[in-house]
A and B are shown apart, each in its own frame.
Chain A
Amino acid sequence: GAGVSQSPSNKVTEKGKDVELRCDPISGHTALYWYRQSLGQGLEFLIYFQGNSAPDKSGLPSDRFSAERTGGSVSTLTIQRTQQEDSAVYLCASSSYSSEKLFFGSGTQLSVL
Chain B
Amino acid sequence: AQKITQTQPGMFVQEKEAVTLDCTYDTSDQSYGLFWYKQPSSGEMIFLIYQGSYDEQNATEGRYSLNFQKARKSANLVISASQLGDSAMYFCAMRGGGGFKTIFGAGTRLFVKA
Contact = CB atoms under 8 A, between A and B. Distances in A.
A31 B100 contact: yes
Nearest to A58: B101
A65 interface: no
Contacts of A42: 6, 91, 104-107
A95 B99 CA distance: 12
Nearest to A107: B43
The secondary structure that dominates the B interface is strand
A45 B100 contact: no
Contacts of B45: 91, 93, 102, 104
Contact of B100 (A95, A104, A106): A95
Interface in B93-114: 93, 95, 97, 99-107
B101 to A, nearest CB: 5
Given A50-B99, A101-B47, A43 B104 contact: yes
A102 B47 CA distance: 8
A100 interface: yes
B104 A45 contact: yes
Contact of B101 (A45, A104, A107): A45
A106 B102 contact: no
A18 interface: no
A102 B50 CA distance: 11
Given A33-B102, A42-B91, 5 more contacts: A42-B6, A50-B100, A95-B102, A100-B52, A102-B47
Interface of B: 6, 33, 35, 37, 43-45, 47, 50, 52, 91, 93, 95, 97, 99-107
